[in-house]
Amino acid sequence: MQRHYRALELDKILKLLAAETACEDAQELALQLTPSVSLSEVQRLLADTDEAFTLMARFGAPSFGGLYNTTNSLRRAEAGGTLNMAELLRIAGVLRTLRAIVDWRGKSAGVKSCLDWRFDSLMPNKYLEDRIYGAILSEEEMSDNASVQLAAIRRKIRSASSRVREQLDKMIRSPLYQKYLQDPIVTMRGGRFVVPVKAECRGEIAGLVHDTSSSGATVFVEPMGVVEANNEVRVLQSQEQAEIERILAELSAETGNFSSGIISGYHAAVELNLIFAKANLGYKMKASLPAVNDRGKILLKKARHPLIDKNKVVPTDIELGIHFDTLVITGPNTGGKTVSLKTVGLLTLMAMCGLMLPVAENSEISVFHQVLADIGDEQSIEQSLSTFSAHMTNIIQIIGQADESSLILLDELGAGTDPVEGAALAMAILESLRKKGARVAATTHYAELKAYALQTGGVENACCEFDVKTLRPTYRLLIGVPGRSNAFAISLRLGMEEEIVERAKELVSSENTRFEDVVQSLETSRQKLEGERSKAEQAHLEALRAQKEAQEIRSSIQAEADKEIEKARQQAAQLVSRTRGQIDALLNEMEELKKQQNKTLSAEQKAKLKAGLRTLEEAADPVHGRKDEGPYVLPRPLQVGDTVLLYDIDKQGTVLQLPEGNSQNVLVQAGIIQTRVPLSNLRLVQEKKVKEKRRTVTRNVTGRAQAKVTTELDLRGQMTDEAIMNVDRFIDSALLSGIEQLTIIHGKGTGALRAAVQQHLKKHPSVRSYRLGVFGEGEAGVTIVELK
């Protein structure tokens, strides 16, 4: 790595990134990242990271545990070689990881992503994965189910071994032989069943001696009666080993047929692991995506140095290349000048590596062809260079490399030599770099450079705020304000005699004193204005809050009023309905009565009754509307079906029936209520013009409830934290889908994953009960969960 990048501590950031990866190859890629100088490439890298960040926020992180570089094994299998059980299990583990990543992406299948081409490169092979796991139990044990022949051979071995043991058991229980035996047990030596015989009784039991004890008191004898049976067992064991070799060769050949797809899928998974590691690092840093340009414009809002404790780091605003191309940062030692300088350089390099930045939204960063830094004490005893000589050597190299697409960061420019000459040399260096068009940020103690920044266009002062009362820096960078050294004030606070400090003040030139007084006056005014601005902002926020509360109260009152009016309308409707029913009944009675007397009501009498009915309906309306604000004339006569506004209650309705005769009342349907309303109380609602369609962009998103849900979750090969996250997501999906019983597969292993999962289930609010699986369910390798 370039020494300029090391000076800005990019190597430490890459180590943090490598710690977020899940496999050695991804870790190696992270450590070898180099900043890109292409704007389009940087934008693509940042887009990939941002897409991974978004997918993680919505669906959680995919699991990359189990990725292992099996390229050599796969190429050997492709060439016809035979792999051992450990190599085949590692290949099956890679296939299982690839399948898990594809399944994770399947949960968000409705969401398009710029990472999809990498997900499409993953090639899981469920057939080969099951074939290997079904045949191999561990790195040293082949399953009986690997082949019919292997199962038959092992049955014969167990049968033959059982016969040998039965013969030997009879011997050790026999009183005739017990006195010759050291212990009444059956053991094995060299793969053959033997009994321990006392050395002095060796000749009493005919057989073959296979071993002796370390003390020589015991010999392990294979009695002649079981030699033939032991021979049979050994022959069968040889057949078993030959069958295992045959199965391994067969599995290796099948694996070799799929080697190219597995290798390409593995490399795609490694790249995805690196991208999601970038996103996870951004999540831990509470980072955001900056805008990127190649015009040298830097605008960092609330920037935080990523290597400082997030509970202690002070966010600061930094600007360069927009209104000025050179920033001169002054102030006392330990005030944060170097941190500000490193923050600009490090965040620039991080963005060029495709990493999100710990800054606020709407920040902007530039891509530079070169980021050159002279930071820290470069004194070299081996090269006989003083601090000043070492700095000058670096700066000479930087001047030779600098151009219009360079970012130059210089710490303590001109320090280590005579102040007058150092200040003059520093100004000359800044002028030279500015002529080359570079963006420059430099720290210094020289008052001459403060004046140079004040008098030169394109050069701006900045300082790191320092609290003299507490002798502590605030680490805030203030652009546009030159800093003070505060040496006299600090010395007094630390206990220096006042006489010495006063004498020092006398020795300072009057011109320098006046300059420092101006700076102090500016600082006092700035602090006062900042306090007033803070109060104004607080008052503004209070006013906005009060306005919001008033709006909420108004909305609440309006909602209550509308509710009461609707309630009154419903009561009126009920009253009108009852009254209408009573009148209809009365009319029917009268009609019946008239029919019986061979008489009928006259039309005038019926009209009178109907007029009385309308009067009754109007009197039954308990709502008193608002007063008319002025005369209103309908723009045209009303028609049935027109939309009108009931002005007194501010509610829209539809015209059902026009006025009859001399009546001025209109039958209107307002909601579920039909009522007669005076014509003067109606306002015709004109049809609204179709608004100009705005250009919108829609994005189809598949929710969790629509995602495919299974009742089994396989956690094997996952780390504890990752497994717990997947269990929570699995339970959430099951609850949304109405599933009540789940199966969590964690395997037996050491039991650590099972214990962690069950401890988490014990506290989960949605879990009613859980238990280990029984025979046929997976026994201790699975946990059965009942949901509430």
Asked if residue 755 is part of any domain, the answer here is: yes
**Which residue, among 409, 403, 410, has the nearest Cα to 437 in the 3D structure?**
403
Number of domains in the chain: 5
- Residue 662 assigned ligand-binding role: no
Q: What is the CATH number of the domain that holds 730?
A: 3.30.1370.110
Phi (first) and psi of residue 191, to 5 degrees:
80, 10
Asked if residue 741 and residue 719 are part of one domain, the reply reads yes
pLDDT computed for residue 253 by the predictor = 93
**Which of 652, 684, 716 finishes a domain?**
684
pLDDT computed for residue 26 by the predictor = 93
Asked if residue 385 and residue 307 are part of one domain, the reply reads yes
The residue length of the chain stands at: 788
- Residue 65 assigned ligand-binding role: no
Question: How far is residue 296 from each of residues 287, 348, 440, 519, measured CA to CA in Å?
Answer: 22, 11, 10, 30
pLDDT computed for residue 690 by the predictor = 42
pLDDT computed for residue 575 by the predictor = 75
Which residues, 6 or more positions from 304, have their beta carbon under 8 angstroms from its beta carbon?
A: 285, 310, 313, 314, 315, 343, 358, 359
Asked if residue 415 and residue 478 are part of one domain, the reply reads yes
pLDDT computed for residue 630 by the predictor = 62
pLDDT computed for residue 696 by the predictor = 46
Instruction: Output the pTM of the full model.
Output: 0.60
Q: For the chain, what is the mean pLDDT?
A: 81
Query: Whole-angstrom Cα distance, residue 782 to residue 788?
Result: 20
Asked if residue 530 is part of any domain, the answer here is: no
Asked if residue 18 is part of any domain, the answer here is: no
pLDDT computed for residue 292 by the predictor = 94
Asked if residue 730 is part of any domain, the answer here is: yes
Asked if residue 203 and residue 268 are part of one domain, the reply reads no
DSSP labels, 476-491: EEEET------HHHHH
* Residues 345-400 pLDDT 10s: 999 999 999 999 999 999 999 999 999 998 875 544 444 456 778 788 888 999 99
Asked if residue 6 is part of any domain, the answer here is: no
Query: Whole-angstrom Cα distance, residue 52 to residue 278?
Result: 8
- Taking residues 35-64, what's their average pLDDT? 91
Asked if residue 74 and residue 190 are part of one domain, the reply reads no
pLDDT exceeds cutoff 60 at 680: yes
- Taking residues 699-708, what's their average pLDDT? 48
Q: Which domain holds residue 210?
A: 147-237
Asked if residue 642 is part of any domain, the answer here is: yes
**Which of 454, 480, 496 finishes a domain?**
496
Asked if residue 299 and residue 278 are part of one domain, the reply reads no
User: The tokens 């006042």 sit on which residue?
Assistant: 498
Asked if residue 300 and residue 357 are part of one domain, the reply reads yes
CA dihedral 624, 629, 635, 638 (to 10 degrees): 10
Asked if residue 564 is part of any domain, the answer here is: no
User: The tokens 């069943």 sit on which residue?
Assistant: 193
Asked if residue 424 and residue 359 are part of one domain, the reply reads yes
Q: What is the CATH number of the domain that holds 229?
A: 1.10.1420.10
Q: Which amino acid is at 561?
A: A
Helix axes 39-59 and 337-352, enclosed angle (nearest 10) = 90
- Residue 781 assigned ligand-binding role: no
- Taking residues 664-687, what's their average pLDDT? 82
- Residue 354 assigned ligand-binding role: no
Asked if residue 477 and residue 404 are part of one domain, the reply reads yes
Asked if residue 386 and residue 477 are part of one domain, the reply reads yes
- Residue 336 assigned ligand-binding role: yes
pLDDT computed for residue 602 by the predictor = 58
Burial class (CB in 10 A: 0-12, 13-18, 19+), 648: middle
pLDDT computed for residue 512 by the predictor = 52
- Residue 125 assigned ligand-binding role: no
* Residues 416-442 pLDDT 10s: 777 788 888 889 999 999 999 999 999
Asked if residue 392 and residue 317 are part of one domain, the reply reads yes
**Which residue, among 323, 286, 318, has the nearest Cα to 476 in the 3D structure?**
318
**Which residue, among 721, 717, 635, 646, has the nearest Cα to 676 in the 3D structure?**
646
* Residues 254-280 pLDDT 10s: 999 999 999 999 999 999 999 999 999
Query: Whole-angstrom Cα distance, residue 418 to residue 413?
Result: 12
Alpha helix stretches (DSSP H) within 597-751: 603-619, 720-737
- Taking residues 752-758, what's their average pLDDT? 87
Asked if residue 301 and residue 265 are part of one domain, the reply reads no
Asked if residue 555 is part of any domain, the answer here is: no
pLDDT exceeds cutoff 80 at 228: no
- Residue 458 assigned ligand-binding role: no
Q: Which amino acid is at 532?
A: E
If one compares 673 and 754, the residue with the highest pLDDT of the two is: 754
Q: What percent of the chain has pLDDT over 70?
A: 84
Q: What is the CATH number of the domain that holds 668?
A: 2.30.30
- Residue 196 assigned ligand-binding role: no
User: The tokens 């694996």 sit on which residue?
Assistant: 255
- Taking residues 623-628, what's their average pLDDT? 51
pLDDT confidence band for 531 (50 / 70 / 90) = confident
Question: How far is residue 155 from each of residues 149, 376, 606, measured CA to CA in Å?
Answer: 10, 74, 107
Query: Whole-angstrom Cα distance, residue 222 to residue 208?
Result: 5
Which residues, 6 or more positions from 528, have their beta carbon under 8 angstroms from its beta carbon?
A: none
pLDDT confidence band for 605 (50 / 70 / 90) = low
* Residues 296-338 pLDDT 10s: 999 999 999 998 887 878 888 999 989 899 999 887 666 678 8
Cα atoms in the Cβ-side hemisphere of radius 13 Å centred on 738:
1
Q: What is the CATH number of the domain that holds 296?
A: 3.40.50.300
Contact 444, 483 (CB under 8 A): no
Within 10 A of 580 (CB to CB), how many other CB atoms are there? 14
Sheet with 665-670: list strands edge to edge.
673-678, 665-670, 651-657, 643-646, 682-684
* Residues 128-154 pLDDT 10s: 999 999 999 988 889 988 899 999 998
